[in-house]
Amino acid sequence: MLKRGIPLIIAISFGGLTLISLLFSITEISSLILEWASFLAAVALLLGAINLLSVHTHRLAAHRPVGGQNIYSAALVISMLVVFGLGMTDLIGLTNNSVGVVFNWIQAPLEAALASLLAFFLLLSGIRLLQRQRTIASILFLATAVLILLSNAFIASPILPQSISSLFQQLRDLIQSIIVTSGIRGILIGVALGAITLSIRLLLGLERPYNK
Amino acid sequence: MNDTLGLVIGFILTLLIYSYVIGDNPAYRLAVHILVGVSAAYAAVLVLRQAILPIVAQLALNPLSLNSLLWLVPILLALLLILQRLPRFAWLGDNATALLVGVGAAIALMGAITGTLLPQILVFGDAGNTSLSPIQGIVTAVLTVCTLLTFQFTGKKNELGEWVRPFWQRGFVQIGQAVLMITFGALFAGLLSTSLVLLTERIGYYFAQFMLMLQ
Amino acid sequence: MIRKTICQECNTPNTPGGKFCSNCGARLPKSTSIMCPRCQTPNPSSNFYCDSCGSRLIQEEAPPPEQPAPESDLPTSAKMFSLPSRKPGDTGELNAENVMDWLMSGQGDATDANAKPKTDTGKLPRLSDLTPDQRGKTDDLPAWLVDSDSQEFLIEAPEDITTEHFLNMIKQIDEEERKKLTGMLSDPALTGKGGKLPDWLQEFVQSAEETGEKPAPKATPPSKPQPGKRGTSSQPSADAEDLDWLSELGPLNTDMLAHPVEQPQSRRPQSEADNDLPDWLGGLEPPNTEMLARRPSFAADEPSIDAILSGEGPTEGIPDWLAATGAPDTDRLSHPVTAARFDEEETEEDYPEWLVRPPDTSELALPAAPKQVESAIAADSLAKKSVTDWLAGFEDDDEEETAEVAEVAEEDDEFDNIFAETAVTPIEETKARKTLTDWLGELSARDAAEPPDDETAEEPDWLSPSEPEIPAEDETSLRFGMTGPLPDWLDELEPANAKPASNEQTIMAGMLDDLLGPALPEETFPAEEIAEEIDEAMVAASFSELPPDAQPLNVNEEPDWLSELAAFDPNAVVVDESAPTAMETTAVTDSLFADSLVDSTWRDDTRRDDTRRDDTLQDMPDEVETAVYPFDSAGDEEWANLDEILSDVNTEKEELVDWLDEFADMPDAALALDLSLAADDEATPEKPLISTGELPEWIASLRPEDTSQLDSLLPSALPTAEDNLYAIAADELGDADLPEWLSDTAVSTPEKPVTTLVGAELPIWIDTESDLGEPSSELASILADLPTAPPPEDLLQKAEIPQWIQDLKPAELTGKPTAAPDFKLETTGPLAGMPGVVKVEPIVAMPRAIIPADQFTITKEQQQQARLLRQLVQEEHQATAQTHAVGTAVSKNGLRLLLAALLFAAVVFALLGPDILAGEPPSSLSAAGEGVNTAVTAAAGQPVLVAFEYTPAMAGELDVAARLLLSQLQDNGSQIITVSQSAGGTAVAETLTQSQANPPIHIGMLVGEAIGLRQLGNCLGSQPTTCATLQGRSLNADTQAALQDLGLIIVLTGERDSLVNWLEQIDPNTDIPIIAGVTQSLGPVAAPYYASGQLHGLLNGLPDAIALANRYGSSADLTQAEAQLSAQSLIQLAAALLLIIGALVLAANRNKSSTTQGQ
């Protein structure tokens, strides 16, 4: 009873308090609670990183190369320790913004490369779409994508005659402003309704993701 | 010099990432593991530096102030959160998680209602930046309703035992699905464009940097 | 007259007393020998209680024995078919000798030892080892089952299925039955304390008491007191002390028992056969002379049954289990003299249990006699005294036995005292005691002790049937014999509806001979002869001293048969030397007796409403009629003389030997059996005593109810003659009247109907077709009433051969074409070259990576097997799958490389090559873009919060917008405050704002996403309170002031959540305009927010940014951005073309592959 009851009480009471303070703009209460929450969020983020480190450290200690897993774990652990160390040295002031440098030299290019690699895989998936699934929906999907891409390409290009490029423009605007917006709006409203439903269930204690 | 080193390291890492085009290979995996390690450590460092240490410092400044005493509650909860790593006391960590869930639910509820639902529904006439004609407006509203009905999955069982939507809803659903496909096509095109931009930027960047180095 | 219940439906003869026909299951008409006193329902003689009302049939009955022998619950016939089972735990070594012959298939002829195929000792020979002719001769399996290659294989199903196996089964059954019977003989329940002997035994016991036969010498095992042997010289008087009635039974003719049918006629001369039977049977000639005449004769050289049983004869062919039991030393039974040696030489262990344990006679309760009978019994109780002490004679060291004997002795004394006053000389008294069976003595003693008026005391029926409470109106059925109301079974004896002497009765008579062994040989020992004469005299005297109050039976009421019987004095006939030989006189007397009995009882019967129709009369084969039967029509004069004889003796009722009373008790079948035995003996001396005809009722009743199952178990094949000692000539089997339960196994040729009437000549009253003149009117009337019986062929059900046997029939028999064997040779794999290898299942064929399960320890052998299996599977799989894998791998990598190369080339070409599509840079700005400009322009001079919500991944697109905006803000003199929800964004912010002239305020990272933004929202705008600290960080006054004076919020993001969080947590709570710079992928998502006015402006990726910059000019270095933007056109065109071409090419590819798969 203790194990399950206390977390439930904490969740309902703090949620209710926050809701009431936001509704009635009682900033003192809401800010205090938000402070505590954000602090706990920070601690949770830190613990997450530490957990990642301990998992890969165990893999290293286990000496069982599961498909060469040790090398990758070693790389992860070393990179974490290096960056963490640099962060501490930054903190201590031994170094100056070394973490930023690491970020720029390593993280940024890696992330950018990954993002740019996305283009190749998007094209590949688009090409295979008709090979895998030949339905009206997929044809509609691919046609819209090609149309938008062509419109992006030709609107600014003088190759096509103005009429065609303006036709492209109007078509793209029509699609974008009416159909896509309606679709996105529908999706957003749907998502909002979902969020509202889930929040109410959490506040009433019907959903308890915190009880393991 | 540093920049060149950075450039070369970046280039090598980029090539490791681009090796995935041929297929999954150890180089790509190594690069990804490095990325995860660096980004996790960077975030931890940043959180530590920007969120935790200031609070500790503040409390250290004035430990007996009312504010500081009040901060004992989150600190205690934070310690319980740390205990969650020991299986026997893991249940104690649930209290901190419960607090986060409760507060987050309240905020999401408020934001969804005030930030999305109401504003997206109550756009009338010239409100907002719509430059649609009334017909376009009605069409947009109808299409939005069709999209929403497409997400309505409740229905009735027919004789054959299959779940089917009510008859009146079937037409709207067909329209909604078409709108969604077009929307997703547009999103796909946007994403492809963005990624093409990023690809172009990467290639252009390295191309330019090498040109600079060559020059 | 042997009587059998004929089924009305299928005309099959059934054992009397059975309720349902054994063949077709139809309800049998009621035929019984005991009439229920209360509800007049006829019941089989073996019933103690009435079937319908449950009232006690037999009045005087001692309480049932405490421990009825466990086997007695099951009917004998059921046990007959159970295989000889070992005691639990007695596994014993399975060696060749113990295995029953029928198990040793393929042994071939038992006699042909050297023809045995090579077999390992203890193992059955394989069919393949047998030579073709051995297979042919293998009797163990029916020919059509034997997989014989020989061509002369019988095509059509064999008519005459003969198999040693079935013979052995029958022998085994008979062995068990013999064991069962001998068990019953020594079963205390039946013979010991209070145990009620089966009717046939009681009668014999009682008749032994009446005829005063001398019991066998005491030392010998109990022998049955000899009933008055009609016409035959008295049984040699046994030792004065014990009438060993069991020894009278003579050597238990196990063979006769086991093979009543096969009992070869010539095996023992008639007289010897007589000796085997106890006296009481000895006189009884088997009625079925005809059947017996046809019984197969034993080959001369075959050892006599005694020799076999005594162990001297060859043991071949005797089942081992029987041989193992050792020679039961039946001599002891049959030869009283040798019996004495029994005790000295043989120890208890050697003899089978049934011999060793003396039957416990103390409990034997003799049926109570009604008042009148008591006095009669008292008068002739001396005769009963001579009842064999056989029960008490058993000396056994066992204290319990001796205690019982002591008890019996005391009762004997009482018995003696009671009768002390009778005018019997001491010598006679002692003889009487010797001659009476002790158990009878006790009973009489007990009876005498009980108060005479105790009507309800149970009186032994056999002595004097109780007076049934017969309803007044049924006066006619009230009959009183000499000893009071006669039992109903007597009615049965009357030739009601001309009941023919049925097969069963003959067989039963024959079975009795088997069971009880041949009657003691005529030539008895001198000492016994004298004793016998004395006994006879004594008996005659006792009769004459019948107490005055013994009311003579009312002649009028007495049935004629009794009166005739009364006149008849078997002893007189027997003693008279000049009279024809014993056998003849016996036969005559029997027949006379039978005839008279039959005659009178028949008249009584007709008065009853017996619905049974004797339709078998018409079906009676001629030869049965012509069988030599003393009462044959040709012998009318003889019959006439018989009448006179009977009438002379009418007055001498006293001389009616008590043993007749026995007949009062004997079930009609047994009586008929006796009579028929007498007749048979007479007619065909050389016939064995027990015809193979009817089983005694008590055996027949044990036959399992549902014989259909037996049919399927016992194929109708009977052993052929040459098989072994007991072979029966095949053709004779057809005519033999097998007992019902055996008859199913007899090979009966359809055209010869099973003779239902035993060969004995039918008495006049039955033989409707005899030329004795018109049948009596009553019989004719009855016959006329009965419905005509359908011909037997229609009724006979076709034997159902079980399906599983039919399936076993080889193709030659069924005529079906044999499927050509699949001899496709295996080409690949280790099994290459072998025919008919079954293909590996596709599931198994799939190569599957074996994930080593840590917790299981895999031994080396298992690994090798797994490797072998995998090799098997993969080899086969690889052979087919190789071509396909290569194809797909090439195509897949090829496409990727091709696409990557094309894309790379497009980008490089777009970046470096001429701008084919180069048009003016986009100057037209969308409205959303205009909004951004407007907002930025509006926020000039105000602090602007720039939220860097993207990471370096999106930096490629957003940096342009960010720089543009930052430059604009810079240009507008706005204070830039940077904030981010993510760590990456913070770093980006720091990186982008490094080169700013007016260093921006870095709030830093807001932890907790929406929570952080919500906290920030509390500090923005014109809030009443200033937030000194934000997420623990103290904000300096400038920042706080800037936050409160914030003019614009710019959200730069490529992620929906980040954008939505800003719009949901900040926008509603502040009036600060929010503009967003988003990527092209997020553009559509942001549009609704722009449309709803939540966003005041929206830069949709690079084009908008470039457009904005081109529109409003910017100080930021956007050259590279512009270059990228122009390349975007070409690249997007290339992407579009790639999409279209690729999709179409792959779609076409798919069609082609689906058509090839279709083919």
Residue A20 has pLDDT above 90, yes or no: yes
C206 — phi, psi (to 5°)? -65, -40
User: Mean of the pLDDT values across residues C1066-1072?
Assistant: 85
Give the best residue of B19, B25, B50, B140 to mutate against chain C (max C CB count within 10 A).
B50
Q: Considering chain A, what percentage of its residues have pLDDT values greater than 70?
A: 95
Cβ neighbours for C16, distance < 8 A, ≥ 6 positions apart:
C3, C4, C5, C31, C32, C33, C44, C504, C667, C668, C669, C697, C700
> How far, rounded to the nearest angstrom, does the alpha carbon of residue C1071 sit from its chain's CA centroid?
93
| Chain A residues touching C958 at Cβ < 8 A | none
Residue B48 forms contact with C (CB below 8 Å) = no
State the pLDDT at residue C866.
Answer: 87
Residue window 166-205, chain B: list those with CB within 8 Å of chain A. 176-193, 195-196, 198-199, 201-203
State the pLDDT at residue A27.
Answer: 82
State the pLDDT at residue C182.
Answer: 55
C700/C744 same-domain check: yes
User: Mean of the pLDDT values across residues B182-198?
Assistant: 92
C548/C651 same-domain check: yes
User: Mean of the pLDDT values across residues C595-608?
Assistant: 42
Quick check: C493 and C672 in contact, CB under 8 A? yes
C109/C158 same-domain check: yes
Residue window 45-64, chain B: list those with CB within 8 Å of chain A. 45-49, 51-53, 55
User: Confidence band (pLDDT; 50, 70, 90) for C439?
Assistant: very low
C689/C642 same-domain check: yes
User: Confidence band (pLDDT; 50, 70, 90) for B1?
Assistant: low
Tell me the C-alpha distance between A52 and B33, whole Å.
12
State the pLDDT at residue C166.
Answer: 65
Which residue in C198, C222, C225 sits closest to C280, CA to CA?
Answer: C225
Nearest to A179 among B35, B41, B183 (CB): B183
State the pLDDT at residue C552.
Answer: 41
What is the number of alpha carbons within 13 Å of residue C49 lying toward its C-beta? 6
Which residue in C438, C334, C431, C339 sits closest to C388, CA to CA?
Answer: C438
Least confident segment among C82-91, C463-472, C777-786, C1054-1063: C463-472
Residue A143 has pLDDT above 80, yes or no: yes
User: Confidence band (pLDDT; 50, 70, 90) for C51?
Assistant: confident
Tell me the C-alpha distance between C1032 and C934, whole Å.
35
Last residue of a domain, one of C1113, C1132, C1147: C1113
User: Mean of the pLDDT values across residues C82-110?
Assistant: 46
| Chain B residues touching C953 at Cβ < 8 A | 198
Residue C325 forms contact with A (CB below 8 Å) = no
State the pLDDT at residue C1050.
Answer: 92
User: Mean of the pLDDT values across residues A13-29?
Assistant: 90
Pairing of strands C944-949, C976-980: parallel
Residue window 1018-1047, chain C: list those with CB within 8 Å of chain B. 1029, 1031-1034
User: Mean of the pLDDT values across residues C319-324?
Assistant: 48
- Tell which wins on pLDDT, C760 or C968: C968
Q: Considering chain C, what percentage of its residues have pLDDT values greater than 90?
A: 2
| Chain C residues touching A100 at Cβ < 8 A | 987, 990-991
pLDDT digits (tens, 9 = 90+) for C716-756: 333 344 444 444 444 444 444 444 444 444 434 444 444 44
Quick check: B58 and C1033 in contact, CB under 8 A? no
C155/C35 same-domain check: no
C188/C52 same-domain check: no
State the pLDDT at residue B188.
Answer: 94
State the pLDDT at residue C873.
Answer: 79
* Domain limits for position C14: 1-60
* Exposed e or buried b per residue across C485-515, where buried means at least 16 C-beta atoms within 10 angstroms of its C-beta: bbbbbbbbbbbbbbbbbbbbbbbbbbbbbbb
Pairing of strands C34-35, C42-43: antiparallel
User: Mean of the pLDDT values across residues C991-1018?
Assistant: 86
User: Mean of the pLDDT values across residues C518-525?
Assistant: 41
Contact C1025 A150 (CB under 8 A): no
User: Confidence band (pLDDT; 50, 70, 90) for C956?
Assistant: confident
pLDDT digits (tens, 9 = 90+) for C481-506: 444 444 444 444 444 444 444 444 44
Chain A: closest CA distance from residue C1127 (Å) = 9
Contact A83 B42 (CB under 8 A): yes
> How far, rounded to the nearest angstrom, does the alpha carbon of residue B177 sit from its chain's CA centroid?
25
Cβ neighbours for B23, distance < 8 A, ≥ 6 positions apart:
C893, C896
C931/C877 same-domain check: no
Residue A87 has pLDDT above 70, yes or no: yes
Tell me the two tokens of residue A39: 């602090």
Q: Considering chain B, what percentage of its residues have pLDDT values greater than 70?
A: 97
Residue B3 forms contact with C (CB below 8 Å) = no
Indicate whether C805 belongs to any domain.
no
User: Mean of the pLDDT values across residues C812-828?
Assistant: 61
> How far, rounded to the nearest angstrom, does the alpha carbon of residue A51 sit from its chain's CA centroid?
20
Q: How many beta-carbon pairs below 8 A join chains B and C?
A: 172
C143/C3 same-domain check: no
Indicate whether C80 belongs to any domain.
no
- Across B178-187, C123-132, C341-350, C883-892, which has the greatest mean pLDDT? B178-187
Residue window 963-1022, chain C: list those with CB within 8 Å of chain A. 984, 987, 990-991, 1006-1008, 1011-1012, 1014-1015, 1018
Quick check: C22 and C14 in contact, CB under 8 A? yes
State the pLDDT at residue C1018.
Answer: 83
- Across A107-111, C1-5, C454-458, C625-629, which has the greatest mean pLDDT? A107-111
Indicate whether C588 belongs to any domain.
yes
Give the best residue of C990, C1071, C1094 to mutate against chain B (max B CB count within 10 A).
C1094
Chain A: closest CA distance from residue B156 (Å) = 22
pLDDT digits (tens, 9 = 90+) for B164-173: 888 888 888 8
User: Confidence band (pLDDT; 50, 70, 90) for C927?
Assistant: confident
Query: Touching A: which chains, 3+ CB pairs < 8 A?
Result: B, C
Pairing of strands C1029-1030, C1033-1034: antiparallel
Which residue in C1031, C1029, C1089 sits closest to C1056, CA to CA?
Answer: C1089
Tell me the C-alpha distance between A44 and B85, whole Å.
12
Nearest to B94 among A43, A105, A212 (CB): A212
Indicate whether C399 belongs to any domain.
yes
Tell me the C-alpha distance between C596 and C590, whole Å.
10
C723/C864 same-domain check: no
Nearest to B103 among A18, A42, A148 (CB): A18
- Tell which wins on pLDDT, A53 or C517: A53
User: Mean of the pLDDT values across residues B14-27?
Assistant: 90
Tell me the two tokens of residue A175: 């699609």
Contact B192 A183 (CB under 8 A): no
Q: Beta strands of C786-832 (E only): which ranges? A: none
State the pLDDT at residue C25.
Answer: 76
- Across B23-27, C15-19, C1110-1114, which has the greatest mean pLDDT? B23-27
pLDDT digits (tens, 9 = 90+) for C835-893: 777 766 665 655 555 555 555 677 888 888 888 888 887 776 665 555 555 556 667 77
Report field, pTM of the whole predicted structure over 0.90: no
User: Confidence band (pLDDT; 50, 70, 90) for B18?
Assistant: very high
Tell me the C-alpha distance between C383 and C390, whole Å.
15
Report CA dihedral (C344, C347, C353, C356) to the nearest 10 degrees: 30
Residue A165 has pLDDT above 90, yes or no: no
Q: Which amino acid is at C690?
A: I
Cβ neighbours for C1050, distance < 8 A, ≥ 6 positions apart:
C936, C944, C945, C946, C947, C965, C969, C1074, C1075, C1076, C1077
State the pLDDT at residue C653.
Answer: 41
* Exposed e or buried b per residue across B26-53, where buried means at least 16 C-beta atoms within 10 angstroms of its C-beta: ebbbbbbbbbbbbbbbbbbbbbbbbbbb
User: Mean of the pLDDT values across residues B153-165?
Assistant: 81
Nearest to A39 among B74, B178, B199 (CB): B74
Pairing of strands C222-223, C1029-1030: unpaired
Chain A: closest CA distance from residue B183 (Å) = 5
Chain C: closest CA distance from residue B136 (Å) = 13
Indicate whether C920 belongs to any domain.
no
- The kind and range of the H/E element at A176 are none
User: Mean of the pLDDT values across residues C758-770?
Assistant: 43
User: Mean of the pLDDT values across residues C678-683?
Assistant: 42
C1151 → chain A, closest CA residue: A131
Residue C442 has pLDDT above 50, yes or no: no
State the pLDDT at residue C829.
Answer: 72
Give the best residue of C1129, C1139, C1150 to mutate against chain A (max A CB count within 10 A).
C1139
| Chain B residues touching C1101 at Cβ < 8 A | 190, 193-194, 197
C621/C748 same-domain check: yes
C673/C606 same-domain check: yes
User: Confidence band (pLDDT; 50, 70, 90) for C921?
Assistant: low
Q: DSSP readout, B55-75? A: HHHHHHHSTTSHHHHHHHHHH
Q: Considering chain C, what percentage of its residues have pLDDT values greater than 70?
A: 29
User: Confidence band (pLDDT; 50, 70, 90) for A93?
Assistant: confident
State the pLDDT at residue C848.
Answer: 56
Residue B82 forms contact with A (CB below 8 Å) = yes
Cα angle C68, C73, C77; round to 5: 135
State the pLDDT at residue C33.
Answer: 60
User: Confidence band (pLDDT; 50, 70, 90) for C786?
Assistant: low
| Chain C residues touching A108 at Cβ < 8 A | 952, 955
User: Mean of the pLDDT values across residues C998-1020?
Assistant: 87
Tell me the C-alpha distance between C756 and B200, whole Å.
115
Other C-beta atoms closer than 10 Å to the C-beta of C315 total: 14
State the pLDDT at residue C890.
Answer: 63
Residue C368 has pLDDT above 70, yes or no: no
Contact B100 A41 (CB under 8 A): yes
DSSP state of C1068: G
Last residue of a domain, one of C770, C785, C800: C785
Contact B18 A117 (CB under 8 A): yes
A17 — phi, psi (to 5°)? -60, -50
Residue C270 has pLDDT above 90, yes or no: no
User: Mean of the pLDDT values across residues A26-37?
Assistant: 88
- Across C93-107, C435-449, C1049-1063, which has the greatest mean pLDDT? C1049-1063
Residue B88 forms contact with A (CB below 8 Å) = no
Total structural domains in chain C?
4
Tell me the two tokens of residue C135: 């297979």
User: Mean of the pLDDT values across residues C230-247?
Assistant: 42
Indicate whether C855 belongs to any domain.
no
Residue A24 has pLDDT above 60, yes or no: yes
Contact C1101 B190 (CB under 8 A): yes
Tell me the C-alpha distance between C284 and C278, whole Å.
10
Average predicted confidence (pLDDT) for chain C: 57
User: Confidence band (pLDDT; 50, 70, 90) for C813?
Assistant: low
Burial class (CB in 10 A: 0-12, 13-18, 19+), C609: exposed
Indicate whether C756 belongs to any domain.
yes
- Tell which wins on pLDDT, B30 or C431: B30
Indicate whether C906 belongs to any domain.
no
Residue C296 has pLDDT above 60, yes or no: no
C252/C322 same-domain check: yes
- Across A118-122, C567-571, C740-744, which has the greatest mean pLDDT? A118-122
A72 → chain B, closest CA residue: B30
Residue window 846-905, chain C: list those with CB within 8 Å of chain B. 893, 896-897, 900, 903-904
Chain B: closest CA distance from residue A163 (Å) = 23
